[in-house]
Structure formats: C-alpha cells, structure tokens
Chain A
Amino acid sequence: AYPLHGAVRQDHSTMDLAQQYLEKYYNFRKNEKQFFKRKDSSPVVKKIEEMQKFLGLEMTGKLDSNTVEMMHKPRCGVPDVGG
C-alpha cells in the first residue's frame, strides 16, 4: 500500500519532509515527483540513495527509520549537491 515498498510506514508529514529535504538539499526538481513508478527506476529513489550516500547512511532507497531520523536533525542550510 506504500509507494516505497519496505519503507517505514509513512504519514504525509514524513513524505512532505522528504520531498522538501530533497528539494532543498539535493536539487530534486518538483516535476520529478513520481512516487508511483517502480522503485528501482524512480528518480525519487535515486535521489534518496544520493542523500543516503552523502550522509553516510545505508543506501536503501527507502525512507527507513535512520533516514527519517537524519532528516529531522538540525543542519546547515546550504545544499549538499549543486551550487
């Protein structure tokens, strides 16, 4: 029932957080919102993996608990990718 199979059960706020986080820090463009594509080809999954790789998390491509926890931590406002 969840777009990202195997992810932590999400509510809208977590999904919103992830979207905002990826847009703000990983140059995720809004027109690439495609949560309902197959997980192994989803740009969202790839973006999540990019974030996980940069931040030293396991690259699951999912919004697992460690990833969600990391997104809630205070941080610098400068993006991690791009300029």
Chain B
Amino acid sequence: FSTFPGSPKWRKNHISYRIVNYTLDLPRESVDSAIERALKVWEEVTPLTFSRISEGEADIMISFAVGEHGDFYPFDGVGQSLAHAYPPGPGFYGDAHFDDDEKWSLGPSGTNLFLVAAHELGHSLGLFHSNNKESLMYPVYRFSTSQANIRLSQDDIEGIQSLYGARPSSDATVVPVPSVSPKPETPVKCDPALSFDAVTMLRGEFLFFKDRHFWRRTQWNPEPEFHLISAFWPSLPSGLDAAYEANNKDRVLIFKGSQFWAVRGNEVQAGYPKRIHTLGFPPTVKKIDAAVFEKEKKKTYFFVGDKYWRFDETRQLMDKGFPRLITDDFPGIEPQVDAVLHAFGFFYFFRGSSQFEFDPNARTVTHTLKSNSWLLC
C-alpha cells in the first residue's frame, strides 16, 4: 500500500459526505446504496464513521461529471479513466468524481459503481495506489463475481489502519456490523450452532441464507447445493435480514437494513432497492427480522423485534390493526426471530440454532428442531 505524499488524513473520526448529483444509469436509491456500502467497507476496519448530508459542504463531495469538469483533470469519454478522488483536506480535497460517460451498473456488465466507489473513497481517506494486484487500491479496474461484496485485502487493511488505526473492539455507540476479514469464514452446514440470516422458497426450492452464502435445496435433489449469493445476484448485499417469496407474483423480496430488492429467478428487478417504508412501515422501523408469505391467505407477515405486521399482497397495503405482539398470535414463539418459512401448512420459525414448527390451526408449537435440519444434518 502507499499513502499520498505527506500522508494526509482526516483529523477526526466522524466524516460527512454528500452525493451532489446522480448518474442516469442507475436509480438514485442504487447510487445511494452503492456509496453507503462502499463507505462501510472502510468503516468496518477503522474507527471512522460516515454520515450523509443533503446540502452544504461535506467533507467528501461525490459527483458525476463528463469531460472537463472544473479541476483540470478532465475525464476522457468511455473507458480509460473511470473516476478520481482527492486526499483528505478542505475544499475539493476529499472529493470523489465519477466519469458519467461510463455505463455505471451494480453488476458485472458496465462499470460497477460499488467497486469503483470503494476504491475512490480509499483515496478520499488518504490511501494512494497499491501495486498489489489483489488489493482494492490497485489502480486497474477488475470486476469479478467474488468482488461483488468486496473483501479488503490485508494490504488494504494495513494501509488504512496505518492512517487511522483499527476499529475499536467495543464501542457502545457503534451498531454491530459483520466484521470485514481478508480471509472470510465459510459457514459449515452441520455446525450445531448454525443460524440463518433469512430463509425463503423460490420456485419450489428452499433457500437458506447465511453471510455471503446460501444453501439451495431442490425438490429433486435433497442434498443441498452451496453457493455465493453474489454468484447468482451480484448486486445483492451479504448478511441479509429477511426474504420471502410472493409466489403469486413469481418474485422474491430480499431485505437488508432499510432497503429491499425484488428478484425474479436470478435477475434483480429494475427500480430496486427501495426503502422498506414504501411497504407501509413507520419510520421507527429500521430493519426487518424475518418475513413469510402465506399463500392461502395471500398475506405476508413481517417480524420486527417482538412485534409483527401483516401485509395484504393483493391490495399491496399493510392490514389495519398492526403491529401486534408475536407472542399473542404465535404462542410459544419468542422474539427475536431470525427467519420464517411457510411450508406443508406449518410455519417454521428460525431462532438461533433452533427451529420451531408452528401449527397455525392449533396455535401451538408442534416440534422443535435444529435450524439446519433442512440441510440433512
């Protein structure tokens, strides 16, 4: 790794950013999400935190431009230079500019905005280019499906931590996030402590999501397949919160944080991600724990903390009278729920390494199993 001459760095840990304008290649929400995720890559290995402002002068001003755009480093049309950014400092220092003659995307085609933004924001934080081909700060653009969720190399981590130090091990004000490691652990199918992030059906198959991966159990092959999420849906994040199939629409909705995506098969639908509040959640809801669609009633149940909401998929509106307490309507199910599946007439609630089969007619838990019993463990 290397740093800019003089090793300029931000002299504070809380840094503001502003997205000044947008490319027309992507929905605004997608640009917002890509930038947020790119900053989180660096946030997770340093004491730095980032907050977005919508007007005025932020530390890092992010913009899209073509050709000459006022800084004597003009862009050059399609290809070659994709973007550039300035090291920490006042005024235009710290800012990141993206060449809007590129075709910005969130997948492997075109130019992946998330990947380029993560690199450029490394400059905004003080990193120069690395000659390590495996590093995010290597100057030449290389997209691979494995980079869809970007893992910093040890070189990148050493570089940024040479400027800011490591992330504090305990900080009451920091929301826990999955740690970024140069050597990510792969979940083990029959680990007795295995829990799932989200579970859903998709066209008759069962999908069990965990971190960057998912198991896929098809009806004609009980032995589950194991895949990277990014191999199927490059633009989806890892560490999902919830997923469900609204199978009257042949669509799976996938949730993480305050956003959700719609996928049909292995295609992420245009116009996503959207904010969960467009479904009718109040602003106080920041994320969904679990979601499940009940086909017979065409209702979707969203579980958040100790409560749940019910969504009418026909009217596309939240039902009145919600939220309600989970324990009132699902006796025996304790919050917080990790994931829920509806199959064979039962609800399967996943909580940690345990799974509770709930009979909605009897309103009781009928079986308690290990979460990974679906994986033939």
Contact = CB atoms under 8 A, between A and B. Distances in A.
B207 interface: no
Interface string B77-112: 001111111000000000000010010000000010
Interface of A is mostly: loop
B139 interface: yes
Contact of A77 (B5, B82, B111, B131): B82
Contacts of B131: 53-56, 80
A23 B141 CA distance: 19
B52 interface: no
Interface residues of A, number: 18
A75 interface: yes
A77 B5 CA distance: 17
B310 interface: no
A70 interface: yes
A83 B86 CA distance: 10
A76 B82 CA distance: 6
A65 to B, nearest CB: 16
A73 interface: yes
B111 A78 contact: no
Contacts of B80: 74-75
Contacts of B75: 77
B5 A78 contact: no
A41 B2 CA distance: 28
Given A70-B140, A83-B4, A83-B5, A76 B73 contact: no
A72 B76 CA distance: 13
B119 A76 contact: yes
Contact of A76 (B4, B5, B83, B133): B83
B119 to A, nearest CB: 6
Nearest to A70: B140
Contacts of A56: 131, 133
A76 B76 CA distance: 12
Interface of B is mostly: loop
B129 interface: yes
Interface in A27-81: 53-56, 70, 72-80
B141 A78 contact: no
Nearest to A56: B133
A77 B84 contact: yes
A74 B120 contact: no
Contact of A75 (B5, B81, B85): B81
A41 B62 CA distance: 43
Nearest to B97: A77
Interface string B327-348: 0000000000000000000000
Nearest to A78: B84
B18 interface: no
Contacts of A77: 73, 75, 81-84, 99
B320 to A, nearest CB: 52
Interface in B109-123: 111, 116, 119-120, 123
Contact of B111 (A24, A53, A74): A74
A27 B216 CA distance: 52
B139 A80 contact: yes
Contact of B139 (A72, A75, A82): A75
B5 A80 contact: no
B73 A73 contact: no
B5, B81, B85, B116: residue with the most chain A Cβ atoms closer than 10 Å: B81
16 contacts: A24-B81, A55-B131, A56-B131, A74-B79, A74-B102, A74-B140, A75-B82, A75-B139, A76-B116, A76-B141, A77-B73, A77-B75, A77-B84, A78-B123, A80-B139, A83-B5
What are the 7 closest A-B residue pairs judged by CB atoms, nearest first? A77-B84, A77-B81, A83-B5, A74-B141, A75-B140, A76-B139, A54-B131
Interface of A: 24-25, 53-56, 70, 72-80, 82-83
Given A74-B141, A75-B81, A76-B83, 6 more contacts: A24-B81, A76-B82, A76-B129, A77-B81, A78-B84, A78-B139
